[in-house]
Amino acid sequence: MKTRLIDWPTFIISFVVILGVVIPLIIFPEAGSELVGQLNDFVSHRFGFLYLLMGLAIFFFLIFVAFSQNGQVKLGEEEEPPEFSTPAWAGMLFSAGIGSSILYWGTIEWAFYYQGPPFGIDPTESQLETIQWASTYGIFHWGPIAWAIYALPAVPMSYFFYVRKKPIIKISETLRPLLKGYADTMIGKIIDVLFIFGLLGGAGTTLALGTPLISRGISDLTGFPDDMLLRTIVLLVVTVIFAISAYVGLKEGIKRLSNLNLGLSIVLLIIVLVTGPTLFILETTTNSIGLILDNFFHMSTWTEPFAMVQGIEETGFPEAWTVFYWAWWLVYAPFVGLFIARISRGRTIRQVIIGSMVYGSIGCLLFFGIMGNFGLFLQLSGEYDVVNMLNEQGAPAAVIAIINQLPFSSVMVAIFVFLSVVFLATTFDSSSYILASVTQKRLEGDEPLRWNRMFWAFTICLLPLTLMYLGGLETLQTASIVGGFPLIFIMFLIAWSFMKTSTRDLIIDEQYEPKTIILDMKNIREKLKRRRKKKPNDEE
């Protein structure tokens, strides 16, 4: 084992912090859960507005960068082609950033909004409005702002790695221009550890949602009871699959699994679109796009401030949904950013930004538009009472019940379950790959050490598994969302650090000429004259 490559302080502190949170939760589950719950209420109620402002600010910042000179910088040498083809690149970034949660929320999120709509709408009085928002809000929560949160860390990380040729991709490294020598001290380590802790909790949330979904599907197919034993087996099998993929490495394992993921997703979506209510799906999805564009600012800043004036009780919608989602995307962002950076050699910064935001949002739109509206159709047409199933037996049961309404239902459930496994695996193999990279001083060859990849693969699975048994998994998720709070400020710092460094580099390299287009009017006039001779009515 080449232990000299390991960044021991970061490695050990991360592990100790993780154990420091998990072990008390195992010993004092109730007190722990209460404390973490209170902290969460505090953060999401007091600082909910800050999350919303952060989302909007990141979105506009990246659009600005994409179209500024800083966005034209290429990540790599002049002649170098992109390392991965655009479809492979888009597929990998989608598969890494999106786990099985999209199958879960994409199919069922509408049913939550259907019962608890936003904007203080009364679901019994304004049914049409309720339905419209139910089919739309999920697309917003998985849309361009969310993807901008993912893309932000990718920009400085890839800049520092490919342009400034720093040997490692770490958050602390992107902050070096601001932190200076402090990047190598405890401050730098704490920043890296914060991200590792956040990712562990974000991944815990993913597993907590994905495992019951898969086990419900398997139980439906095989008749085995959907109990703890089945869930444990599911979790272990998934762990082994993604551990193998991480072991094989980025080029082979992760890319192959990601291709499988995309291929299967397309098959599932096409089948549901064609055999389901095609026109309804197309119309509602189109309608949602318009609704989001019309209400983009309202949705991204709605904090529910006037409930008491309206004489109604607060619904808690912004905290439970938009703020929670932004926080969840945020704890995943440094990891996905690192991963996007890792696969973006040879692209420009603009391509990275626009590519992640556009491909990512379109991918999510397809899932929410097709799977979600299929479920909504079942409800509205009276073919199947999804909401009742959700309220009686919970979300995993309701999702599987929706898939069961498709023709060849068993085959469809089998495809759905298999796809959930692959989606989980593709998110987790890249997480362990990245965790391993971050806990190393440098990479040898291009990849982090194998045993290090395996170590993180098992850590991010086994800890949530333990907590799942003890009922503390929810607490860990909440803890990580709360623990991710400082990331808001770190995001601000890395954006600043990137602008400062890249603008200075552009100036030093004398690339500050604004790219203005100067029209050659003489030439244009002459051409127009020639044309007028041919067509006498043409105006100048």
Least distance CB 488 / ligand NM2 (angstroms): 15
Dist. CA 352–CA 344, nearest whole Å: 7
Among 32, 71, 82, 99, binds ligand NM2 (CB under 6 A): 99
The alpha carbon of residue 304 and the mean position of all alpha carbons in its chain are separated, in whole angstroms, by: 25
**Is position 322 an interface residue for ligand NM2 (rule: CB under 6 A)?**
no
Mark 405-444 with x for binding to ligand NM2 (rule: CB under 6 A) and - for no binding.
Answer: ----------------------x-----------------
Q: Beta-carbon neighbour count of residue 415 at 10 Å?
A: 18
Dist. CA 322–CA 324, nearest whole Å: 5
Which stretch, 93-101, 122-130, 250-258, 393-401, contacts ligand NM2 (CB under 6 A)? 93-101
Least distance CB 328 / ligand NM2 (angstroms): 5
Nearest residue to ligand NM2 by CB is 99
Dist. CA 113–CA 308, nearest whole Å: 21
Dist. CA 487–CA 195, nearest whole Å: 8
Q: Which two tokens stand for residue 419?
A: 């796809």
Q: Beta-carbon neighbour count of residue 265 at 10 Å?
A: 22
**Cβ nearer to ligand NM2, comparing 130 with 206:** 206
List of residues 6+ apart from 295 with CB closer than 8 A: none
DSSP bridge pairs for 299: none
Least distance CB 425 / ligand NM2 (angstroms): 12
Sign of the C-alpha dihedral computed for residues 438, 444, 446 and 447 taken in this order = negative
**Is position 502 an interface residue for ligand NM2 (rule: CB under 6 A)?**
no
**3 state SS of 344:** coil
Least distance CB 191 / ligand NM2 (angstroms): 20
**Cβ nearer to ligand NM2, comparing 361 with 452:** 361
**Is position 332 an interface residue for ligand NM2 (rule: CB under 6 A)?**
yes
Least distance CB 94 / ligand NM2 (angstroms): 10
Dist. CA 86–CA 104, nearest whole Å: 27
Least distance CB 340 / ligand NM2 (angstroms): 13
**Is position 213 an interface residue for ligand NM2 (rule: CB under 6 A)?**
no
**Cβ nearer to ligand NM2, comparing 210 with 346:** 210
Q: Which of 443, 492, 356 is nearest to 170 (CA)?
A: 443
**Is position 98 an interface residue for ligand NM2 (rule: CB under 6 A)?**
yes
**Is position 328 an interface residue for ligand NM2 (rule: CB under 6 A)?**
yes
Among 21, 102, 352, 495, binds ligand NM2 (CB under 6 A): 102
CA-CA distances (angstroms) from residue 293 to 140, 288, 366, 461? 10, 8, 17, 39
Which chain residues interact with ligand NM2 by CB under 6 A? 98-99, 101-102, 206, 328-329, 332, 427
